[in-house]
Structures are given as structure tokens and as C-alpha cells.
Chains A and B, each alone.
Chain A
């Protein structure tokens, strides 16, 4: 017989599903068995009636209760938003690689819904007593998820914290804080800038990327990006080789 407990498919029960900002909500699920998740890894959720599962970075993991932050975008996230407490969903995970935590003064950058994996990473760094500074950026005050544990918040319209995008502050913060490593998740343009700054100042960067996925396990090759390896440009899947890449290895467009 097949030992199902070794397999990566879980039936999970919704523990919490609540709005935490204007367009995002926090979903906590309890799996039928304990799941260990490293910062940067994701789960993929089957959304009824849809062909492709939807991937979400893990935001928290408290005694096997996995939390994700979901930004309402289309049919998949609408389905997840509609889930009620105690309903059962089908998840696969944890998937993908993870942030490679180093014992170095760390700058964390989470832009928009990209705060999810970075928040989880922060709890891991704090557990290990690694010095860190968490920079976050949002469109406006209403888009800031409740309980965001950030040290520096900026909003595009200045309705909360500093005015402007994280793009405006990263350089200054690097100069003042002098991190030895930067971890980031957010829009492509933010990750690209962080990778460039990292290279300019000789600071290692690790960025969590995003792409539409079909399988989530590296077989369909639908989510590839170009990376540099051994002097050559090769395909890497965001789902399996990533989602976390060194900023210096990504071929930025």
C-alpha cells in the first residue's frame, strides 16, 4: 500500500480567514499532519473549478498552522477569500527552495504583498538573534496589512510613514545601516534595483521571485527565468530552482 503520509498533498482546514488590509487577507490553515516550512517556501492551493493551482509564500507557521497573505486579484484569490472557517482545502507543499539564512547584519525588504515571505524570514532571523532591519513599502495606508512588524514603512502617497516607494529609500538605508546581506520580495523592479545596489556595494542579495506556474514542482517548465551559471545563461524554474535566487545570478530584463 502507498504510504500517503510521505506524500506532499495535504487536506487542510481553514482556521482563520480575515481581511487585514483593503485588498489583502490573512488565511490560516491547519494541515492533517505537521508541516515544516522554511522561509521563502510556498504552498499551492487548489481552487475549485480552476485548472491551475495558486501559489502563496508562507507568511507564518505556528505549530503546524500555516498562514498566508493573499492579495485579491482574480478568480483564484476570490475563491480563497470565500472560504469559511472549518472548510477543507487541498494544498501541496511546502514547495520550492528557501532563503539561505546567514549570520550577518541583514536588511529585509518587503514591497506590497511581498511582505509575506519576508515577515516569515524575520521571525526566523529573530529566533536566531540575527541583527536585522525590516523595510516595507505599500501603495497607501489602507494597503498595509495589520500587525506588519516593520522598522521602516513608506507609502507611495505618503498616507503613512515616509512618502515614496521603497525604491526611493533602499539606497539611503544601505548607506546608513550598512547591511552585510539583503533579502527581498516584491515587484520585479524593486528586486532588480536591490540586485543592482547589492552588486554596486558588494553586498549579497537574495530575492524571492514570482511567476505564473502550472505544476509548481519543476516539470512543466512554465515559470522559467534566465540565470547565469558557470558563465552560461540557463533556464531556472521559479517554482523548484527558486523562488529564491541570488540577485547576482538573475539575468535582469
Chain B
């Protein structure tokens, strides 16, 4: 185990992770739900389902559909709220020795500030601020697409929360670089990119001339968004100095390496957790094997080589 940590140790300025493989918010539950499939303490960190100030019931109607290269979801941030998360889930995470980052989402600036305060009071080590969910009517994306509101929002959270602050960016803008710069200026410690792309699917069923349609609008994720994510990470890495955590369609070790090459310091595995619940632990093992097989000293040396 000690050797593993040496090879894969990932330093994101003042956040040290045992490896760079994280699991993306919304695809991994709150705590130990994937216990049945993998050894959770082997992951760099799990990122919790988005937590709001109060419990949310989420959206009605159809919430998921498969597409040719991924899926569309419209869950609408259903979650148990921060109180229950801290009372019920944090003890499980601690007892099981699972490193975690808490994803938070608000409907108003005040809600985000309150969430930041509660995280500070409860010594939550790291948070990921969700300003990019496309599936809720208020909050989230409306802050996340405008660099000025985003700057104000992150600055306000930063004043309350002194732990490690990651901001998860949306790709649904013309220049993601501007969002990155705003977030960096507001005092964020890191950026994660990307959240889902806005997507829509209309499934048509024609029975002897009578058409019925199944429509879903929501966040598009999975293998199909990888090129968009790689581009966003690369463009961000050209203009900002804080670490970038890459997300979007990762399924294989080659995908992980591609994100490192584009400038990511760590990665989050999302939709692939649904297809292969063991994938994150598998990627930890494969990354270690890759480093050993190719004779690198450690992960940092591999990243350096990939970015030459």
C-alpha cells in the first residue's frame, strides 16, 4: 500500500490525495453505496452527490435516457440536504476511511454562502461548488455561465469557507477560459471541468401512423462528451495556474492519460460508474501498472512526459 501511495500521490497545491482518480458527483451516491463493488478507500476521493441546504425531491417525469454515445439525465439535484448528510453520511465516510469531497449546490447566493458556512463549521476538508447543473430552474447554471456573477459567488463562499474549494465549471459557454479566470481571481483552489452538456432527446414511436414522443432535456454525459472536455481542460490550462480536475467520458486508462496530457492534474470518473461500477478502482490499479511498466519515478514524472 505504501508503494501505491508513492507512485500515485497527487498534490493539488494544499490538497494531497493518494491518487488522482476521483468519482464524479451524482454518479456515486453519498458515501459507501459502491461498497458492494470496490474498495472505496483505494480511491483518490469520492465526490458526493450534490448537497443543497434543504432536501430536494428532484424533477418529475422521465429522468434518464440513453444516447448513442452516453446518456442524458434530468434528475434535478434530488438529495437529502446538508443536515442529514452531515448527521448520517459523514460518520460512514469517516468510519470507512473514505476520502471525500463534498459537492454543494444552491438556489441563491445566500444558500451557497450558508452551505459554505456549514462546511466550515463542520470542518469539511474539501468542497466542489456546483455552478453548472443544467437541470434546475433556479441557481446553479445561472451563476455558472456568467463570469461576473460567478466571481461574486465564489468570492462570497470563499469568505466563509477556508478549506479546499473546487469550482465545477459548465461547458455551456463560448469561452470557458473566462469562467476559469474569474474563479481563480475569486480565490478558488482548483477547477473541475466539465459538467454535463445541455442535451435533448426526442424518441419517436410510430405505431401505424400514430406518433408518440418521449422527450427529455437535461445534462448529456458519457463517452460522447470527451472531446469537448479535453478541449475545455486544455484551454483552461493555457490561462490559469490553479490545478484542473478533468471530467468527461473517461472509461479507460488511455482516456485518463489524455486528460493529463491536456493539463489535468486529476480526473473524475462519472457516467462510466453506471456501466462498470468497478471502473474507478480498476483505473487506479492500471495507472500504477502503467507507471511501473514504463519506468517512471512517479505520477508527476509521467505527467511531465505527457505534456512535453
Contact = CB atoms under 8 A, between A and B. Distances in A.
B27 A220 contact: yes
Contacts of A46: 275-276
B274 A215 contact: yes
B63 A221 contact: yes
Q: Determine which residue in A218, A219, A223, A224 has the highest number of CB atoms from chain B within 10 A of its CB, and name it.
A: A219
B26 interface: yes
Q: For the complex, would chain B's binding face be called helix, strand, loop or mixed by DSSP majority? A: loop
Nearest to B76: A221
Q: Determine which residue in A9, A212, A214 has the highest number of CB atoms from chain B within 10 A of its CB, and name it.
A: A214
Nearest to B75: A221
Contacts of B26: 220
Contacts, number: 86
A223 B66 CA distance: 13
A92 interface: yes
A221 B274 contact: no
Q: For the complex, would chain A's binding face be called helix, strand, loop or mixed by DSSP majority? A: loop
Interface stretch (B34-42, B186-194, B259-267): B34-42
Interface stretch (A47-55, A111-119, A161-169, A186-194): A47-55
Contact of B75 (A8, A50, A222): A222
B76 to A, nearest CB: 9
A221 B36 contact: no
Interface string A1-19: 0100001110000000000
B78 A52 contact: no
Given A7-B38, A219-B28, A51 B271 contact: yes
Contacts of B67: 51
A235 B77 CA distance: 13
A197 interface: no
A62 B253 CA distance: 38
B120 to A, nearest CB: 27
Given A214-B64, A219-B29, A222-B63, A8 B37 contact: yes
B75 A220 contact: yes
A89 interface: no
Interface in A63-99: 90, 92
Contacts of A90: 276
8 contacts: A9-B278, A51-B71, A52-B66, A215-B27, A219-B27, A219-B49, A220-B274, A222-B64
